[in-house]
Amino acid sequence: MAIPFLSKGEHMILTPLTKLDAVNEICGAMGEAPVDTLENSENVDTINAVRMLEAETRAIQVMGWTFNTINPFILIPDEHSKRILWDDAILTIQFDDKRIVRKRDEWLYDVTNNTDRFDAPLTAKVIQYVPFEEMPQVFRQYITVRTANHFVARYLGDPTIMQELQKEEAQAYMQMMENEITLEQSNILQNPAIQTYMNRG
Domain coordinates in residue numbering, the chain: 19-63+135-199, 69-128
Provide the pairing of β-strand 122-128 with 90-94: antiparallel
pLDDT digits (tens, 9 = 90+) for 79-112: 999 999 999 999 999 999 999 999 999 999 999 9
Decide: residue 43, CB within 10 A, 0-12 exposed, 13-18 middle, 19+ buried.
middle
Confidence of residue 6 (pLDDT cuts 50, 70, 90): very low
The reported pLDDT for the residue numbered 106 is: 96
Asked whether the predicted pLDDT for residue 34 surpasses 60, the reply is yes
H or E element in which residue 127 lies: strand 122-128
List, in sequence order, the alpha helices (H) in the chain: 19-28, 44-61, 137-155, 159-183, 192-199
What is the predicted pLDDT for the residue at 40? 85
Query: 5 pLDDT exceeds 60?
Result: no
- Distance linking the first and last C-alpha atoms of the chain: 38
Strand 69-75 versus strand 122-128 pairing type: antiparallel
pLDDT of residue 11: 53
pLDDT in tens, 157-178: 889 999 999 999 999 999 999 9
State the chain's mean pLDDT as an integer: 89
State residue 137's pLDDT score. Answer: 95
48 pLDDT higher than 60: yes
What's the confidence (pLDDT) of residue 183? 83
Mean pLDDT of 187-200: 61
Q: If you average pLDDT over residues 142-147, what whole number do you get?
A: 97
